[in-house]
Amino acid sequence: MLEEIGNVPYEHLPYRPASRRVREHNPTGKVPILMAYDDDPTTTVPVPSFMLTESVAINTYLGDLYPSSALVPPPRTRARAQYDQLCCTILSELDAQGLWMHRKHGTEMGKHLGGVLPEAVAAAQQHYTRIVPTLLPSDLYLLGKQFTAADILLVHCWDWAEQIGWNDSVSDEWKEYIQRCHHRPAYQKVRALLQQDETSSRL
């Protein structure tokens, strides 16, 4: 999101989900976490003055903070209502009822979160596969020709599903949309950064 906005100084901290450092700020162990700091010359140890721990809240806050980016539609508009609806659908239907169920019940993490349950994972995949086609944009992006933070959220879910083999039956139109988003310079920069983090974690 910050790379799409551009010209916003930030520091990326490559902490893994559920790590001790992450849980210090978010008891759920989930990332990302946005921490903002105020300039205070009297403080020797920086303490965040503001913190958000949910992707949609983070993206929407940043989009409102930097409206010229056009990544989040203006408040009190129909476009904003559509944006909010899309984000809620992606978060509740693809993430919570699909991808997170796989992580919770189909991975090693599941042993600590709720137990490994193959039936739950299979049902979650079926749900994901049923919902994804309903979100295919009719234009270049979810809200028309303007790329928004809703696209960022959807592409994140797509990439997650790709890692676990859930995108095998998608249409060519879907692949074209994802490729369009993947070719954006901000995505390419962040992808390279994450690959660097992954390499460093193995050293």
pLDDT score of 49 more than 80: yes
Residue with tokens 């460093």: 200
pLDDT value at residue 10:
92
Q: What pTM value is reported for the model?
A: 0.90
- pLDDT tens by residue, 71-101: 999 999 999 999 999 999 999 999 999 999 9
All domains in the chain, ordered by first residue: 1-183 (1.20.1050.10)
Q: Where are the alpha helices (DSSP H) in 134-171?
A: 149-163
Structure tokens at 196: 């660097």
Q: What is the pLDDT of residue 199?
A: 60
pLDDT at 112: 65
Looking at per-residue confidence, does 174 or 108 come out higher? 174
Q: Give the closest residue to 72 by CA, choosing from 142, 177, 131, 7.
A: 142
Which whole number is the average pLDDT over 138-164?
Answer: 97
Q: Who wins on pLDDT, 177 or 46?
A: 177
pLDDT, position 60 = 98
